[in-house]
Chains A and B, each alone.
Chain A
Amino acid sequence: MQQRQSLPYVFLVPTMAILVVLAFVPMFYAIGVSLENRTLSSPDSHFVGLKNYLLLFGDSRFVNALWVSVKWELITVSATMIAAIGLGVLMFEAAGPKLRNALSLIFLIPVLLPRVCAAFVWKFAFHPLYGIITYPYRLITGQPLDMLSSPTQALFAVAFVDLWQWGFFFAVIVLKLIEILPQQPLEAARLDYAKPWQIHVYITLPMLRVPLVSLMFVKMIESLRSFDLIYVMTRGGPGTSTETLDMYAFSQGFIEAGKISYASSMAVIMMVATVVIFTVVWKRLKS
């Protein structure tokens, strides 16, 4: 009896210990650092309380980064979900089983590519003089098109690459979700005067609400971690037009100023905001 009760701990303790070491130690260390005035240039530092946090809200570049991050989340998550649902439903309605499987296989390729590779490939595709994406524009107007250097277009160009990587993959997941739904309610709807698009709007997608919400959360978390994609394609530029929070924190901490404490306070704010927002959204959407 004693043995049986201790067995769960045998499995749980090492995992939890690793989790604590890898996640919680750096987290609490970052919180600690964010309350000091540590920099990379000088060895000594002291406790300054919430000074870093107060400074942040007067920092217009921080506010900009916050806004870019929010825009990035909204654009990539909504575009991916809309494209995935649209494409998944289209495949379900229009393609036979063989074509669906072939398409699924092809659609998995973008997400298998490491994001840095995808970023380089697309950076070249967006090249103003040699890129394949800008080729039609050059052909028609005779002018080069430099989307990645345009403050208004750069974020959308990078978001497009993100959509390319994840939209197809999620479309395959949506297709598979629709395929495993019980068919009878869909048949009942066909008899209940529903047109094909109405069947999806009123029956299949509501039936898939929980998995779709989960899928959206996966994408929300994934979008938060797009540092490498944005870094390779634009380095946050032009100016600060694609500089997300993690990128600004990185450049404050390691590239421009070496202000480790200042960067840590940004990381902490990001963490708190993420946890709060995700929890609220999750609770809202699940019920």
Chain B
Amino acid sequence: MAEIVCHGVNKKYGAHEVIPNFDLRVAEHEFIVFLGPSGCGKSTILRMIAGLEAITGGEVSINGKIVNDLEPRDRGIAMVFQNYALYPHMTIYDNIAFGLRRLGVSAVEIDRRVGEVVDMLGLKPVIGNKPSELSGGQQQRVAIARAMIKTPEVFLFDEPLSNLDAKLRAQMRLEIARLHKNLKTTTVYVTHDQMEAMTLADRIVLLNAGRIEQVGTPEEIYARPASLFVAGFIGTPAMNLLPATVGENGTRLDGQGFSLPVTPGRYRLAEGQKVVFGLRPADLSRTSDAATAHALSGTVDMVEFHGDQVLVSFPLGAERISAFLPARHRPKEGDKVSFAYEAEAMHIFDAAAGHSLLHADN
């Protein structure tokens, strides 16, 4: 078990800076998820922790020891790759046993430990097969077994479920969660799938263009996005974002097609400030009282069926508003509707800088 500390970590390819300055402390036993769009540098940071990518500047330490110049094999880590990275010419048994054999562990001991992880992951029937004879889910399980058997101090996962189909992904997600619950190994997990991040993480590190946008528990990131980027990235369907101007001493937001009151003191607003006002589709509920203060109205022009829920959308000024409603109470296209929301559901961001204007003590 170990703590990982990244201090001022920096990565350049020639003159091109991919990771400007990355600071993070991963506590012992913690499950950290790096989340971000493709190309945000999350895999690069993971590979620097693993030692597969050289660190241009700064320090990475694992378990109190600076590992910048250590070979991957000497860092006490195990990694699971997106495309499994199994040794194609070896049987499943040999794949799992490979690392222990390099360490010179006795054959009896290897046999016992392989037996253990194989039982845990349900791989016993395929132990003599080659990787190409296994399904994607089984191959990823072998990769996890190969990582587990080394009893590493740190687990690194690089988009391990991206190559699996949706159903299998959900199942494997659960398995990884259960594994972490049992083993409590410090884990860094990279994904672009926010559902994986939300369900697995103790804390999410949300990255954009090599920089940390926000670090927090899934609840914090979802309920209190620190920036416009986080607000737009997290949440399915995506948050409604409307440009607005602050009016009347910071107590109202005026935009195309709406003028809404703001709880005084909750946000740092200055009159005349350009802001972006955000509301999650799920925070909107249908109301018959169009005159209520916290409501948006319009004519429905699209209804998307999602099963239990429907996504209803209507134009408002130059933008569109979507609301996530129970399917039983859905309006029809062309209906005039009004949606109410709680005052606390409002997210307000500075339009130019993108940061949240919510007061920190709220």
Q: Which residues of A contact B (CB under 8 A)?
A: 182, 184-185, 187-195, 198, 202-203, 206-207, 209
Contact = CB atoms under 8 A, between A and B. Distances in A.
B89 interface: yes
A185 B102 contact: no
17 contacts: A182-B83, A182-B85, A185-B85, A185-B88, A187-B52, A187-B72, A188-B85, A188-B143, A188-B146, A189-B98, A190-B52, A190-B73, A191-B52, A192-B99, A193-B73, A193-B102, A193-B103
B88 A207 contact: yes
Among B81, B84, B86, B150, max chain A CB count under 10 A is at B81
Contact of A190 (B72, B89, B90, B150): B72
A192 B146 contact: yes
B308 interface: no
Contacts of A188: 79, 81, 85-87, 143, 146
Interface residues of chain A: helix, strand, loop or mixed (majority)? helix
Contacts of A189: 87, 98
Contacts of B81: 184, 187-188
B78 interface: yes
Given A184-B81, A203-B87, A207-B88, A190 B146 contact: no
B89 A209 contact: yes
Interface residues of B, number: 25
B109 interface: no
A133 to B, nearest CB: 41
Given A187-B52, A188-B86, A190-B52, 17 more contacts: A182-B85, A184-B81, A184-B84, A185-B86, A187-B72, A187-B81, A187-B85, A188-B81, A191-B50, A191-B72, A191-B77, A192-B146, A192-B150, A195-B102, A202-B98, A207-B87, A209-B89
Closest 4 CB pairs of A and B: A184-B85, A192-B99, A193-B102, A188-B85
A190 B71 contact: yes
A184 B83 contact: yes
B92 to A, nearest CB: 14
Contacts of A182: 83, 85
Contacts of A190: 51-52, 71-73
B73 A192 contact: yes
Nearest to B131: A185
A206 B89 contact: yes
Among B51, B90, B102, max chain A CB count under 10 A is at B102
A286 B77 CA distance: 36
A192 B152 CA distance: 11
A188 B156 CA distance: 12
A185 B73 contact: no
Contacts of B89: 206-207, 209
Among A184, A192, A206, max chain B CB count under 10 A is at A192
Interface in B38-92: 50-52, 71-73, 77-79, 81, 83-90
A193 B52 contact: no
Among A188, A189, A190, max chain B CB count under 10 A is at A188
A188 B85 CA distance: 7
B73 A191 contact: yes
A203 B90 CA distance: 9
A154 to B, nearest CB: 41
A254 to B, nearest CB: 49
A206 B86 CA distance: 13
Given A188-B146, A203-B87, A194 B52 contact: no
Contact of A194 (B51, B84, B102, B143): B102
